[in-house]
Amino acid sequence: MKSKIFFCGLLLSGCLWYPAVLHAQQEPDEIALANNEFENNFYEALKQKGIENYDKAIAVLQKCRTAEPNNPVVYNELGKNYLSLKNYPEAEKAFLRATQLDPSNRWYWQGLYDTYYAQQDFNKCIPIVLKLTEWRKQYYQEDLVSLYMYTGQFDKALELIKELEETAGSSEKREMYKLQILANDKYRKPQKETLEEAIKRNPKEESNYIELIYLYSASNQEEKALEVAKMLEKQIPESDWAQVSLFKFHLNNNDGDKAAQSMFRVLGSQKIDGKIKHRILNEFLIYASNNPQYRTDLDKAIGYFEGDKEVNVAKEVAKFFFNKKDYALSAQYLEKSLGATPDDIEAVELLLYSYQEGTDFNQLLKKSSYYIDLYPTQPRLYYFAGYAANRLNDYKKGKDFLESGIDFIVEDIELETGFNRELAKSYEGLGNTAKMNTHTNRVNELLKQKKSR
């Protein structure tokens, strides 16, 4: 949220001051000696801070403070070192003392702000940031918006957002905050009529259209919301926000081509929040599942989320098709997902389930064998390999996989039952009736255990 500014050093001639009467009763040589000692200590403190020996820096600065107890620069340096050690109470005391001694120095207030922010004490941050706006108003007002949001002061946040829109233009972060605030009925103001009037007065102000679209959508007046979106598109053709509403309109009209065009505008926008993008993708996913001719557009849309750190979109799409029993598509998107996150064992197992349910036993055997080499202690991988080999009538290979993996099972009756059922099938195929019966009996025992629980 905030830009922190740090200094590597200070020029003593510009930063240190000495009371005129401090050494009034001393000889000139004594004064020079005292000043030299102070400067040497201060420079030593800067050196120790520079190599991150904060404790040593503090110890030397204590000597400086003893020599000059009313020098704000000393307290500022103490504050920085305490802050680096995360000793927030001492950092706060030091910076407060510096601001008392010299309230006109912005950097002393900045140090105090950094201290409160590091503790996420946002309520204490606010009056300090208000003070800092005396030096750089717009810069610190951006911080202030976020602080109001963090502390739940949404009235003040909304008022400041509108002020900044007029003086600095819109920003992605402030648009996101405004949408969060307007999601609450209490803050859905100004009313529709006021917004419509504002649009007439200033048809090039995008934020008024966005608020009005939101209000109409929230009250289920989709036709009205669409009218506003079309007005926005006409007045500000480069606006991405218009496409959010137009996308929904095109889907409702079963116009997949135009819906896809609007979707790609939204997904490629830097202004629109990720949650909105995910919602649009989900709606297009449902549409494409019922209209297979748009699968290519779906694949392209998923590509926009490849760098998403929070949601593995390809994997979620795969789960959607798995639940619809479209196992071929499920496998296709899981392969894409594993291309980006190859160590996702959940995706690996879901991929193998997809091949199993889709009766693609050649791929099931090939992939499970590959993943066994990567994860040799995962029993379910051996199960899939044995299952596939049995279905391909390679009972010897099936038996070998199953016997290799069964010892890795830990308190999983269902999986152990599956292993024994497949081992019985392997031995039946190999003509070993005794072994087949042994594993069949074990299946029955496990089923009884499961039923008794």
Determine the pLDDT at residue 7: 32
Tokens, residue 69: 């107890």
Residue range 291-340, pLDDT digits in tens: 999 999 999 999 888 877 778 899 999 999 999 999 999 999 999 999 88
Q: How confident is the model at residue 5 (pLDDT cuts 50, 70, 90)?
A: very low
Instruction: Confirm whether pTM is higher than 0.95.
Output: no
Percentage of the chain with pLDDT > 70? Answer: 90
Determine the pLDDT at residue 170: 72
Domain boundaries, the chain: 29-135, 240-304, 363-453
Compute the mean pLDDT over every residue in the chain, rounded to the nearest whole number.
85
- Assigned CATH class of 363-453: mainly alpha
Cis peptide before 190 (omega within 30 of 0): yes
- Stretch 373-391: mean pLDDT: 95
Q: Is 38 left (phi over 0), alpha (psi -120 to 50) or beta?
A: alpha
Higher pLDDT, 70 or 248: 70
| Domain made up of 29-135: CATH architecture | Alpha Horseshoe (1.25)
Determine the pLDDT at residue 23: 34
Environment class of 320 (CB within 10 Å of its CB; exposed 0-12, middle 13-18, buried 19+): middle
Residue range 193-240, pLDDT digits in tens: 888 888 888 888 888 888 888 777 767 777 787 788 888 888 888 888
Residue range 16-51, pLDDT digits in tens: 333 333 333 344 334 344 457 888 888 989 988 899
Is there a shared CATH topology between the 29-135 domain and the 363-453 domain?
yes
Q: Is 411 left (phi over 0), alpha (psi -120 to 50) or beta?
A: left
- Stretch 84-95: mean pLDDT: 93
